[in-house]
Amino acid sequence: MNWLIDIRRKLHQIPEPGFQEFKTQSLLLNVINSLPQEHLEVETWKTGIFVKVRGRSGKKTIGYRADMDGLPIKEETGYDFASHHEGHMHACGHDFHMTIALGILRHFASEPLDDHVLFIFQPAEEGPGGAFTMRESEPFLRSKPDIMVALHIAPEYPVGTIATKPGLLFANTSELFIDLKGKGGHAAYPHHANDMVVAASHFVTQLQTIVARNIDPLDSAVITVGKITGGTKQNIIAEKARIEGTIRTLSSSSMLKVKHRIEKLAEGIAASFECEAVIDYGANYRMVDNDPELTERFISFAEQTGDVQVIRCKEAMTGEDYGYFLEAVPGFMFWLGVETPYGLHHAKLQPNEKAIPLAVDLLIKFLRHV
């Protein structure tokens, strides 16, 4: 089987949570060690890896980043190479991202550029976030890139298309965890208890008013509650409930406003249900802010190759801790069309593998040219 497709399928079988990408790291190292080593410097960082391909002159360094972690999703693709890790799946394309990075690395390991290329295999993109600490790490600072490039698969675009834009591409994000604690009791004696299932239900409904009533309609924000847990049995009034979600905004000021409103609502819920409401914002990601000049250069380059159709897309409310790399180094991210009916984070996501060699070829050409 084709080298790239074989690697993608092997990676697909071993999705691991953030900072537990041990098998993934080991598989990547096996592949990297099988390449010509003359120009390579390989260094592990937690469960991630830095690979520097020394350039002929090394005047500048180009950074290329791929994320490594999977998601807690029970796969329903029906693939004969489906996840071996029950309840975990590469449902956000990180198996594609790593494979494409290896494809580019294989090429430059044999034919280095004038510039150095630093490949960054980054753990924990889905959470708690690996980019910020990796960016501050010694191996990164020692070989700090002058520009950075990364891609993300896009199920909604056909194979043979890429999409991007200068400036804001992905939103600011903040995780959201709210713990409610009241008084449990017998189902038949509600007047002796403070029911946290009822409090959580009110809270979730009130959260919907923030985007509808507190955010400028010409701005954008999202509050999604993806998980609620509470109680122990159908005839016991729940003493505790937990609400888990994520906040997305296009500006830092809207993020502050949303959080302020959540805190006010939490105070109200605590007062009206006579309970505790404790908020934890978990991991926060900085927006992906594409460097205008480099992005335009990439768009013009991709268009003139004739290999892909370039779509100038709108910004999306997805998040990416790659934004932390772009805070420190000018660069960009683009969407790679992988045409599949099911979206990111779906148990049936089946990105089209024809996009892999296409992305490898395009990026090799661009990195030679940039």
Just list the catalytic residues: 67, 126
Contact string 223-262 vs ligand L5K734KM (x = CB under 6 A): -----------------------x----------------
Nearer to ligand L5K734KM, 176 or 270 (CB): 176
Does residue 319 bind ligand L5K734KM (CB under 6 A)?
yes
Residues 75-94 that bind ligand L5K734KM (CB under 6 A): 92
Q: Is 201 exposed, middle or buried (0-12, 13-18, 19+ CB in 10 A)?
A: middle
Judged by CB under 6 A, which of 318, 323, 346, 363 binds ligand L5K734KM? Answer: 318
Q: Which two tokens stand for residue 362?
A: 């395009």
**Nearest Cα residue to 150 out of 162, 136, 137, 138:** 162
Q: Segment contacting ligand L5K734KM (CB under 6 A): 106-114, 187-195, 313-321, 331-339?
A: 313-321
Q: d(Cα 320, Cα 139) in Å, to the nearest integer?
A: 21
* Least CB distance to ligand L5K734KM at residue 209 (A): 20
Alpha-carbon dihedral angle through residues 252, 129, 102, 36, given to the nearest 10 degrees: 120
Of 333 and 362, the one with the shorter C-beta distance to ligand L5K734KM is 333
Residue 50 structure tokens: 């830095």
Task: Name the nearest CA neighbour of 112 among 19, 199, 38.
Answer: 38
**Residue bearing tokens 């600011």:** 172
Q: Which of 178, 320, 323, 334 binds ligand L5K734KM (CB under 6 A)?
A: 320
Told to check if 67 binds ligand L5K734KM by CB under 6 A, we report no
C-beta separation of 71 from 89 below 8 A: yes
* Shortest distance, position 167 Cβ to ligand L5K734KM, whole Å: 18
- Nearest one of 146, 124, 136, 116 to 39, comparing CA atoms: 116
Helix, strand, coil abundance in the chain, percent, nearest 5: 35, 30, 40
Which residue do the tokens 């790593």 mark? 98
| Of 2-10, 115-123, 194-202, 315-323: span binding ligand L5K734KM (CB under 6 A) | 315-323
Residue 298 lies near ligand L5K734KM (rule: CB under 6 A): no
According to the binding rule CB under 6 A, does residue 95 interact with ligand L5K734KM? no
Binding to ligand L5K734KM (CB under 6 A) within 114-143 occurs at 126-127
| Residues in touch with ligand L5K734KM (CB under 6 A) | 92, 126-127, 152, 173, 175, 246, 283, 285, 318-320, 344
